[in-house]
A and B are shown apart, each in its own frame.
Chain A
Amino acid sequence: MVLIDILISGLILGGMYALVAMGLTLQYGVARILNLAYGEVLIASAFATYVLYTGFAISPLLGLLIVLPLAFAANWLIYRVMLTPLVKRARNRVTLEIDSILATFGLLFVLQGIAFVVFGGQYYSYSYLSVPLHLGGSIVSVNRLLALGFAAALGIALYLALTRTRSGTAIRAVAVDPTSAQLVAINVRRVAGFAFALGGAMCAAGGVLTSMFLTFNAAMGVVFTMKALIVVIMGGVGNLLGALLAGLLLGLIETFVARLVDPGLTLAANFALFLAVLLIRPQGLLGRRAS
């Protein structure tokens, strides 16, 4: 029974990681911005959902309709105002990566500071559809399953949009080679801004959905950023299916360690996995080797 328990919780957690990491892989793989303030966006949307639900009685799922467009707009603004100057002055990809790491590192502290001022350091949670459901001999609450369902739907929608539509193809072209993408009349900067905003919206979705069943506080963003980064690199930068696979793997291993070894060692397990993948396959599980 413990095994099924671990499997179900692990998949739910892993699904969340995969969703969040898909957003980050859009930001990093397409817009080439390594966003260290990524987790703060997640926490911000979790707080927004909390306020909407406890203050205005708007259910989290309905809240998605409010939070996602807001997050999209906010991330687009961040890209336009804060990151475009860095893109313009970058000599090459490496300098842009370092500049963006530093700038978003500053943003992390600003956003985290605001969250502390508004909400303080304590943990928050709310109860929404926490109805137990029997599933193959183990008990899962409905909100978790719902969160997983929505995550899967969003992930599939994103995947189809990227592979089946014209703008999706443009995004993938920029991910592979920004210089060549320009040669076929793709406006790289606009596509990059769009991808960054879309990534931020995916992250916000992750925040809304995780807030349905996890407690959170103002300081937790960093942990989510770390995990999303680990998943993105493990899966192969810019690779959505890789992010899905790596996300699920991370969720399973984390739940496994938390249940059977010690909850205090989950991050250590994450890092061990991350390091192992980096050393054996630096290009990621599904990434292609750069020539």
Chain B
Amino acid sequence: MSALRYDWSTLLIAGTLALLALVPFSGDGYHLSLGIGILNYLVLATAWALFSGTTGYISLATSAFFGIGAYAAAALGEVLPWPVVLLVAALVGAAVAFIVGLSTLRLSGIYFVIFSFGLAELIRQLVTWYEVNVAGSVGRYVFLDISHTAIFWQLFALAVAVFVIGFLIYRSRLGLALRVIGEDEVVAQHCGINTARAKLMLFVLSAVFMTLTGTIMAPRWTYIDPAIAFNPLISFQVVIMALLGGAGLLYGPLLGVVPLVLLFDLIGAHFPNYFSILLGLIFIVIVYGIPKGIAGLLPLEQPPAAMLAAKADPGVLDIGYANAPKADSHPLLAVSGLSRAFGGLRAVDDLSFAVDRGAIVGLIGPNGSGKTSALNLISGLLKPDRGDVRFDGAPISGLRSDHIVKSGIARTFQLVRVIDDLSCAQNILAAIAWRAQPQWGAAAWREALVWLDRVGLKEQADLPAAKLTYIDRKRLELARALALQPKLLLLDEWLAGLNPTELQSGIALIASLRRDGVTIVMVEHVMDAIRSLCDRCVVMNAGRKIADGTTTEALASPEVIRAYLGEDDA
């Protein structure tokens, strides 16, 4: 079965490129320069969306990389052969993106936006300073023997490259990872995704395309200075075009670039003085009117071929957990002296406990006693101030969440976290694709359906997670955790808020997990569940452990009764 035959988006891209390829043969200089303009923004906007559209990290630094590329052409064009110039430009762009990304991408999105906003200005100042003080003049003449037709074909090749690479990324597990990062970075980390590395890779890749565009475009001007090469309008127009088209999809920017380049050409020709006002107004209209872009209005997205294959042939799949409990002397999880304070509040204070293989341990205590913080410390969401967590004998405290996930700990969240925009199957797929023993393609889809079946969600596989009921969202989150094939599962009030029938089926589900050999630590308030499921309980109050023993013992301890019911009832 040919996947391409049904794929309208591929047709759209190929068709546009084919039409553009005819432009040089018209022999008209104006058409050629319009074609160059379209290709220029097509590469820039598509490269921009490759990173910003998927991850949601809005970059306003396009002109920084474009300018670096243009300056590489101006400075080296007459000294080195052209292919070498392109190579050097790409390397410089990649290096700058790497350094900037490494230092800013681990911060929250907003800082990244601000930094990228100023990056072009910063580089422009540095280049100006260098040119004035070292090179001796602000501007440079670019005398390169490269015709406009040659520029056109170079840009054309670059556009083809950006679409091919984009296509490969969007259908790879990296593409799925980026979408998860864009929706919820914590979930991404808890699927085993190294989010910092994924973001950095895409940022560098998109910067290389932008830099190369600048290099190729430079010979169009005979004179460049920092104000031309690092023009902030470029960043701005790229963002407008990508957003108008739809930044979340490979073909989205294309739908914005073509009409807007033509429109800007018109405005520039007829109302040059009002260019920036009209530009701003168009932009505002787009942000309000079509936040998802033109692509969001077109039903072009096709179900992945791998999914269709999996559905056509579900096969028989024996999924298990990578971890049959083996007799071993040390406990599976050993927490000792774990502490974490928020300002003056000691959320977790010198907490120690151990969990044996195959056990279900309840972590209980009054509200605010530090149970969730303890889970967060174990799963890597929080870093401990002091103390030690050993999992399967190896220290894991202070590691990143994705490392911890890969070592065999999965979790659910107190406030359910699923990726609303993805289908239920895709939610599971993210975990399957990035766990310690990853799967991708039809095999992964097959497995995803099995996990959904395991929690009773098979019918909803194609439904976006946003459409699920509360209990089904919880089920989906549990299925995602199970798909990571954990040795240890951390459940944070997974049974809270269920009605009595749902509670019974929930308890049965957890009991069946134990039979499969999964070790479980559950934070819970539902006493029925604790009594029927937990072998042991660790009771916390005000950050400290106040009891630890078999469930009956722990619940009967006077200190526990005092913590829950107050002094008088003890």
Evaluate contact between B283 and A267: CB separation under 8 angstroms: no
Contact B122 A102 (CB under 8 A): no
Against A, the Cβ 8 Å flags (1 = close, 0 = not) of B459-500 are 000000000000000000000000000000000000000000
Interface string of A100-131 (1 = CB under 8 A from B): 01110111111111101100000000000000
Per DSSP, chain A at the interface is helix
- With A106-B280, A264-B132 as known contacts, state yes or no: A113 contacts B288, CB within 8 Å: no
Q: Which of B109, B118, B126 contacts A226 (CB 8 A)?
A: B118
Within 8 A of A (CB), among B95-116: 103-104, 107-111, 113-115
Is A51 close to B, CB under 8 A? Answer: no
B128 interfacial by beta-carbon distance below 8 Å: yes
Q: Which residues of B contact A86 (CB under 8 A)?
A: 287-288
0 or 1 for each of A252-290: is its CB under 8 Å from B? (1 = yes): 000000000010110110010011001100100000110
A28 to chain B: closest residue by CB: B110
From B340, which residue of chain A is reached at the shortest CB distance?
A: A291
- Tell whether, in the assembled complex, residue A265 and residue B129 are in contact, meaning their CB atoms are under 8 Å apart: yes
Please tell me if the beta carbons of A110 and B276 are within 8 angstroms of each other in the complex.
yes
Do residues A85 and B288 form an inter-chain contact, with CB atoms below 8 A?
yes
Interface-located stretch among A9-17, A91-99, A149-157? A91-99
State the Cβ distance, A190 to closest chain B Cβ, in Å.
Answer: 22
- Contact in complex: A106, B281 (CB < 8 Å): yes
Once the chains bind, are A110 and B58 in contact (CB under 8 Å)? Answer: no
CA distance A185 to B392 in the complex (A): 51
Contact: B125 with A105, CB < 8 Å? no
Q: Which residues of A contact B377 (CB under 8 A)?
A: none
- Which chain B residues lie closer than 8 Å to A94 at the CB level? 56, 109
Contact A271 B118 (CB under 8 A): yes
Beyond A265-B129, A268-B126, whether A110 also contacts B281 by CB under 8 A is yes
A264-B128, A289-B342 are contacts. A105–B239 as well, Cβ < 8 Å?
A: yes
Q: What total of chain B residues lie within 8 Å of the partner, measured CB to CB?
A: 45
Bound Cα distance A219, B202 (Å): 32
Residue of A82, A105, A111 touching B236 (CB-CB under 8 A):
A105
Chain A residue, CB-CB nearest to B342: A291
Q: How far is the CB of A152 from chain B (nearest CB, A)?
A: 27
Q: A residues within 8 A CB of B284?
A: 82, 103, 106-107, 110
Residue of A nearest to B420 (CB): A91
Report B110 CB to chain A, min CB distance, Å. 6
Q: Decide yes or no whether A201 CB sits under 8 A from chain B.
A: no
- Is A223's beta carbon under 8 Å from chain B? yes
Specify the chain A residue showing the minimal Cβ separation from B240.
A106
B71 sits at the interface (CB 8 A): no
B291 partner residues in chain A, CB cutoff 8 A:
89, 99
Decide if B129 touches A262 in the complex (CB within 8 Å): yes
B108 contacts which chain A residues (CB < 8 A)?
A: 282
* Closest residue on chain A to residue B243 by CB atoms: A102
| B312 CB–A CB distance under 8 Å | no
Would B58 and A101 count as touching, CB distance under 8 A?
yes
Is there a chain B Cβ closer than 8 Å to A195's Cβ? no
CA distance A156 to B125 in the complex (A): 35
Residues A106 and B111 in contact in the complex (CB < 8 Å), given A114-B277, A222-B232: no
Residues of A within 8 A of B277 (CB): 109-110, 113-114, 117
A173 close to B (CB within 8 Å): no
Q: List 24 contacting pairs A-B, 8 Å CB cutoff, sorted by A.
A: A89-B291, A94-B56, A97-B109, A102-B283, A105-B239, A109-B276, A109-B279, A109-B280, A109-B283, A110-B276, A110-B280, A116-B276, A117-B273, A226-B121, A229-B114, A230-B118, A264-B132, A267-B118, A268-B129, A271-B118, A275-B103, A275-B104, A288-B343, A291-B347
Across the A-B interface, the 3 shortest Cβ-Cβ residue pairs: A109-B280, A113-B277, A113-B276
Please name 19 further chain A to chain B contacts, defined as beta carbons within 8 Å, in addition to the given A34-B113, A117-B277, sorted by A numbering: A82-B284, A102-B283, A105-B239, A106-B281, A106-B282, A106-B283, A106-B284, A108-B280, A110-B277, A110-B281, A112-B280, A113-B278, A113-B279, A223-B121, A264-B128, A264-B129, A268-B129, A282-B111, A289-B342
